[in-house]
Amino acid sequence: MKYLRLILLFLILFSISLYGDISPRFGIKSDFSYVDLKDSDFSPSYIFNNNTQFYAGFEYISFSFYASVKPALKIYTTNNFDIKFQNGSLIKRNETSVKVSFFFEDVYFSYQANNFGIYFGKRIFHFGEGFNRQYIFVGNSVINDDFNALYNAEINIYQNNITHTVGFMPDTESIDKLEAPQYYLGWYSLKYSTPSLGILGIAEYSYDVHGKSNDLTLGLETSYIFTTSIKLYGNIVYDILFKNSLGKSSNNIKSLVGVNYTWVYDHIIIVPALEYFYEDSDSFFSLALHSSFFDSLLSLTSSFIYSSDNKANLILITGININDQFTLDFTYNTPLDTSDEIKNIFEISLEYNY
């Protein structure tokens, strides 16, 4: 019943927006993935998943204020694997079930003035750049997960090259389910940036209200572009204090260094890049080549990743983008390690938005 009331409310707002200054927004996203596994008596031979989202809402933009609200309905599949013995034979069952859930695709409110800004919404936090970007937020690493947007509210105060931020974050998953949050995080950060020198520094203190733990993180990023279109970049994050414990080992350090070269000719852009990412639990080299054609209408990306545990992956991505309204991506991922249980991963992602 609570879902129905909320959906009706936003349908009314959406209808009103058709006759006002608010712009209506709607879209669909659909992701298909097929994982081909090696034959085994105790595991399925494949895993198939589908995740389809429909959203409708509105967007409002003025000189200093921006708002966007997009409630969404998600239809997705889950796999249930079971083994049983019947008549002396081993029988594998791989059942797929369909589930439906409600969440917010986008919730975003911001107000910007000369010396301060106020923000509330749902977004992805990141620090650093590159094909394998390093993501940090209040001491938590979410490397290799680009899709987890988190609710937060913050106030920013600007002083020349310095930005003071006071922020607050509740439990995102509970809010999307319209339930009471299970935890709360608060933080203060001090950022210093010099765009002319390509340097960004950050010091961030956070407090977990539920776990009553303190974190203190330092981060530094720098980059330099040579006249030959070669770019050298790197970043490092150090957890001085993590969950009330002093960071005394390499476990508390994450860093990335990389170099790329941008070649542009007419409507063709080619960017080769070499990067190394270090985290105690997951460090790897990556060699990538990104190409885009016809004003980014078509893009091709290939990357080779070699990790510290002597495992290698080859990833190929083909993308089509039409005016940023329609995107279609094909991804092929194959582990080059013959001992890996996964043989191949095929993914198709489609999105249309208005």
Residue 82 has a pLDDT of 60
Q: Is 212 helix (H, G, I), strand (E, B) or coil?
A: coil
Non-local CB neighbours of 183 within 8 Å, separated by 6+ positions:
170, 171, 208, 209, 210, 211
Residue 328 has a pLDDT of 92
CA 294 to chain centre: 27
Q: pTM for the complete prediction?
A: 0.75
Residue 349 has a pLDDT of 92
Using CA atoms, how far residue 298 sits from 30, 269, 271, in Å, is: 19, 11, 14
Residue 195 has a pLDDT of 76
Which residue ranges of the chain lie beneath pLDDT 70?
A: 1-21, 40-44, 81-94, 125-148, 310, 338-340
Burial class (CB in 10 A: 0-12, 13-18, 19+), 7: middle
pLDDT digits (tens, 9 = 90+) for 36-61: 877 766 666 778 888 899 998 888 88
Extract the tokens encoding 249. Answer: 């080992």
How far, in Å, CA of 56 to CA of 285, rounded?
Answer: 41
pLDDT digits (tens, 9 = 90+) for 16-43: 554 446 788 889 999 998 888 777 666 6
